[in-house]
Structure 1
């Protein structure tokens, strides 16, 4: 029996080049939200929920029931709106079980105190490789696809897969692997897990930056297209070839503009740090660390 075809609606945040998704069961009103965005004005240190409110309006206008708020990983390029969406929908918040590794790494990097829990307890559910869950009648499976970060997941929902930062559109390539806990060889092997899905599986990107000679943003491709045409890993690229390319390329890249605020908030499941004794919340700026 062929997999159900979820109804996928995308929401694009151009300031962070991020795609968020509402993934709906075609046979009911049940849905999930994947990789939401909390707007952040870095210069002012101010957050807002405009992007998340657009998703909520869509959900309300279409009378949807949100079963899950899903994170593919701890994003380093945008803040998550998960707590805001959870408050308004009552949905469960899920991420990969290796969030604990990320929390341990960045808990040390930001010198977080013992009040910062490093056991993933800020999330409602920690997914392991091979876990399954449902969205209405839609069956979903979890693939652990590390390499960009240790906690990266791909959510295979019906005939669609949400790959996070593991892959980009075929003309743009693959995720960087130079963040703490990243590894190019691991990423190559994770991508082979995605490539093992049926060729017709629809793949939905978390980001797009418009490849050279392409004027429009894009977010959807297929396993077959990625296997054949991905400029970094397609067409039979070997593991050693990929590792060499990825390592050399990563050495030329700057850190994402929002990595420092993003990681501090996203490792807390989108929650802001606790207020200090003056009632104000603060983010840390470690100097010369990354």
Structure 2
């Protein structure tokens, strides 16, 4: 970033997720963006390898964590926000529309009456356009719905952290077929981001590298407008909606959507332990996706956009 701030990226090659630590050079205050909690689907075990990488960087650079920012309730990895807060402090924040997502998934998981879909699991809910600070650096939360109703981008200095709304230009855009998703909203959110100054740097939350290229996560508004395969300049809203709808119909449900959302709508907190002291994840049967065996030929990987 500029002389005002430093950004450090952490790529998780198991979930293709990129997390960030953004720090104000003047004060050594920092924000963590989209941290990951490791989860082994086969054993049901969690671990903190990815989050500990962030914490080691934070401690080595003597940073004070003020914010732990979620761009949305992720469907492809468990959030490490709660663990980061326990180890390093900071306030866990997300967009105020998270309550819509919580209501949807409370019904899906048939969660008990003790889970309230009111956003109180998070320390702060951002309004669209809300200004906040990281040390002496001003930042802004920007609502970019479409992938989910609650997606937020965070503008800091000369950069924007865009979550899943945009990917690298050769990958395209997020899917819009999750509950509450909307391809038209997604197009308008993308155009809102691409109206930023052309030199604005965009940091994405995932990369699914095509053609064997190395993972990447930093691009610019100018590059996206010129080369994004789904939404470059000249692509109309109607054309995008047709493309996105047809493409989404071929995509499988992400591998970790059912375990991850139970944790992520709780701000990274595992479900409350039951009488035996163990936390359990629910798997609703025959609710999401197509019937087994009906996937289209040539279906991309489950996490692919």
- TM-score, L = length of structure 1: 0.97
Q: Shift of the alpha carbon at 1:214?
A: 4.4
Name the CA distance, whole Å, in 1 between partners of 2:40 and 2:212: 28
Task: Please give the residue correspondences for 1:92-171 in structure 2 after superposition, counting only pairs within 5 Å.
Answer: 92-171=91-170
- Residue ranges of structure 1 left out of the alignment (5+ in a row): none
Name the CA distance, whole Å, in 2 between partners of 1:174 and 1:88: 34
Whether contact under 8 Å (1:82, 1:93) holds in the other structure is yes
Q: Shift of the alpha carbon at 1:88?
A: 1.4
1:184-210 superposed Cα distances (whole Å, 9 cap, x missing partner): 000000111101111100000100010
Change (3 A) 1:194 1:5: farther
Change (3 A) 1:199 1:214: farther
Residue 232 of structure 1: aligned partner: 230
Residue 303 of structure 2: aligned partner: none
Whether contact under 8 Å (2:38, 2:49) holds in the other structure is yes
1:83-125 superposed Cα distances (whole Å, 9 cap, x missing partner): 1110111201100000000000000000001100110000000
Name the CA distance, whole Å, in 1 between partners of 2:156 and 2:88: 20
Q: What SS is found at the alignment partner of 1:69?
A: strand
Name the CA distance, whole Å, in 1 between partners of 2:168 and 2:257: 22
Residue 60 of structure 1: aligned partner: 59
Name the CA distance, whole Å, in 1 between partners of 2:282 and 2:30: 36
Whether contact under 8 Å (1:146, 1:187) holds in the other structure is yes
Q: 1:243 aligns with which of 222, 241, 244?
A: 241
Whether contact under 8 Å (2:154, 2:162) holds in the other structure is yes
Q: What SS is found at the alignment partner of 1:126?
A: strand
Q: What SS is found at the alignment partner of 2:79?
A: coil
Q: Does 1:287 align with 2:285?
A: yes
Displacement over 3 Å in runs of 4+: none
Q: Shift of the alpha carbon at 1:280?
A: 1.6
Whether contact under 8 Å (1:142, 1:156) holds in the other structure is yes
Name the CA distance, whole Å, in 2 between partners of 1:82 and 1:235: 36
- Residue ranges of structure 2 left out of the alignment (5+ in a row): 289-305
Residue 254 of structure 1: aligned partner: 252
Q: What SS is found at the alignment partner of 1:8?
A: strand
Name the CA distance, whole Å, in 1 between partners of 2:52 and 2:285: 34
- Most deviating of 5-14 and 128-137: 5-14
Q: What SS is found at the alignment partner of 1:22?
A: strand
1:35-55 superposed Cα distances (whole Å, 9 cap, x missing partner): 000000011000001110111
Whether contact under 8 Å (1:69, 1:93) holds in the other structure is yes
Whether contact under 8 Å (1:6, 1:159) holds in the other structure is no
Q: Shift of the alpha carbon at 1:5?
A: 4.8
Name the CA distance, whole Å, in 1 between partners of 2:236 and 2:212: 27
Residue 32 of structure 2: aligned partner: 33
Residue 88 of structure 2: aligned partner: 89
Name the CA distance, whole Å, in 1 between partners of 2:5 and 2:199: 14
Whether contact under 8 Å (2:4, 2:26) holds in the other structure is no
Q: Shift of the alpha carbon at 1:226?
A: 0.5
1:154-189 superposed Cα distances (whole Å, 9 cap, x missing partner): 000111100000000001000000000000000000
Q: Shift of the alpha carbon at 1:281?
A: 1.1
- TM-score, L = length of structure 2: 0.92
Q: Shift of the alpha carbon at 1:27?
A: 2.0
